[in-house]
Amino acid sequence: MNMTYSLPNILSFLRVLFAPFVYQMIRSGDHSLIIYALAIYSIGAITDYLDGLIARKWENTSSFGSFLDPIADKVLTNAALLGLMAIDIIATWIIIIIIGRDIFITLLRIYADRHGMPIITSFTAKVKTAIQLTCSIIILLILSLESGAQLIYSYGFVIDTIMYGIAFLTVYTSVEYCFQNKLLLNHLLLEPRIPGLKTMIATCFGIGYSPFAPGTIASVMSILVTILPISHFQLQIVTVIAIILAIPSIRYVESLHGDDSSVIVIDEVIGMWIILSVDFVTYTPGILVLALFLFRLFDIFKPFPINIINRKKGAFWVLADDIVAAFLTIAFLYGFMIIQIGSNLLLMR
């Protein structure tokens, strides 16, 4: 899968970057922030239309673009749906069905692309995505009004009916994809499980195979964990589990691709999760961007002591330099927080 550094692909990446911010703004329940979420979400929806149009008009289509576009749609639409779930607008069971299906189809796409058997998005799936997008925009538009919460409560049965319809389409399209890709599924079921699982973990579900900045892409994608209803403590537990699973996975992929191969990106994901799991790191747009920038700065330029760790070989040391980069980032963020608190106290005097 060849990635082209093109405008359509940049627009798709923007939708992924928008997702955590949209979620946090909706989750706040503040109608003024929801106005911003609506604006960002609508821009994301417009880019979904534009990137396909530009790619076709400029004859700049690619297998990577065809792969990235539907994933970017899923990330953005699901971020909005999770935000609406967080404020009790949409039932949790419906979100579980939608996101579960999207994860399944995404993993199937990655596997299909790896074997040169790309999956084409069905018409029914496009209709489902369009309905999800439209419904989310309408709900956000209502919530952006001062009396929006009361209106949602009054017409909740209409929203519930639409969401039941989306849940039905979600299940239907899952079955449809399975029937349309029977040969691919049969091929998948015959593969050895453990090696494939280790490769998926080390490459972060195929992100590491991107020829363009796989480490940075993985770092950005790791921020998407903030759109989940997960506490800092729960993320700490998830990160520890990820470290335990990462070491044998990295060791296996290194045996195939060499020491600290660029396809190994789980270390970048774990580094960002360590930062995001610290209690004082808030999931606001400014802090998330600053954390990402600092972490990538340390990881790329490798100041002392990261440069010493980076010279060592082995799965543990592949993780270690990113873990140290994460702690350096945390130290800088803590210093930034102290300076900010001190400045506020001085202004109050």
The pLDDT score that the predictor gives to residue 133 is 82
Burial class (CB in 10 A: 0-12, 13-18, 19+), 64: buried
User: Of 17, 276, 224, whose CA–CA distance to 102 is shortest?
Assistant: 224
As a whole number of angstroms, the distance between CA 334 and CA 278 comes to: 10
Residues 6+ apart with CB under 8 A from 83: 22, 23, 24, 25, 26, 27, 37, 227
The pLDDT score that the predictor gives to residue 199 is 85
Residue 56 pLDDT > 80: no
Residues 6+ apart with CB under 8 A from 242: 266, 269, 270, 273
With respect to CATH, is domain 1-191 assigned 1.20.120? yes
For the segment 37-45, the average pLDDT, to the nearest whole number, is 85
The whole-angstrom distance between residue 288's C-alpha and the CA centroid of its chain comes to: 13
For the segment 111-137, the average pLDDT, to the nearest whole number, is 79
Q: Which carries the bigger pLDDT value, residue 53 or residue 262?
A: 262
CB 287, CB 237: distance < 8 Å: no
Tell me the average pLDDT of the chain.
82
The pLDDT score that the predictor gives to residue 14 is 76
Q: Find out whether the peptide bond into 305 is cis, omega within 30 degrees of 0.
A: yes
Residues 6+ apart with CB under 8 A from 116: none
The pLDDT score that the predictor gives to residue 193 is 61
pLDDT tens column, 271-282: 999 999 999 898
Q: Where does the pLDDT of residue 238 fall: very low under 50, low under 70, confident under 90, or very high at 90 and above?
A: very high
CA distances from residue 345 to 282, 331, 334, 342 in whole angstroms, order as listed: 20, 21, 17, 5
The residue behind tokens 């010279």 is 311
Q: Determine the 3-state secondary structure of 264 from DSSP.
A: coil
Q: Where does the pLDDT of residue 42 fall: very low under 50, low under 70, confident under 90, or very high at 90 and above?
A: confident
Tally the residues of the chain: 349
- Helix axes of 266-276 and 315-348: crossing angle, nearest 10 degrees: 30
Residue 270 pLDDT > 90: yes
User: Of 75, 88, 228, 96, whose CA–CA distance to 160 is shortest?
Assistant: 88
Q: Which of 43-47, 178-182, 260-264 has the lowest mean pLDDT?
A: 43-47
Q: Which two tokens stand for residue 65?
A: 């673009």
CA distances from residue 179 to 107, 126, 183, 188 in whole angstroms, order as listed: 16, 17, 9, 14
CB 26, CB 80: distance < 8 Å: yes
Give me the residue spans of the domains in the chain: 1-191, 200-349
As a whole number of angstroms, the distance between CA 101 and CA 136 comes to: 18
The pLDDT score that the predictor gives to residue 125 is 82
pLDDT tens column, 57-111: 655 555 555 666 777 778 888 888 888 888 888 888 888 898 888 888 877 777 7
The pLDDT score that the predictor gives to residue 258 is 87
The pLDDT score that the predictor gives to residue 1 is 44
The pLDDT score that the predictor gives to residue 50 is 67
The pLDDT score that the predictor gives to residue 2 is 43
Q: Where does the pLDDT of residue 325 fall: very low under 50, low under 70, confident under 90, or very high at 90 and above?
A: very high
The pTM score is 0.66
CB 318, CB 348: distance < 8 Å: no
pLDDT tens column, 181-225: 888 777 766 666 666 788 888 988 777 876 667 888 889 889 888
For the segment 166-191, the average pLDDT, to the nearest whole number, is 82
The pLDDT score that the predictor gives to residue 53 is 63
The pLDDT score that the predictor gives to residue 266 is 94
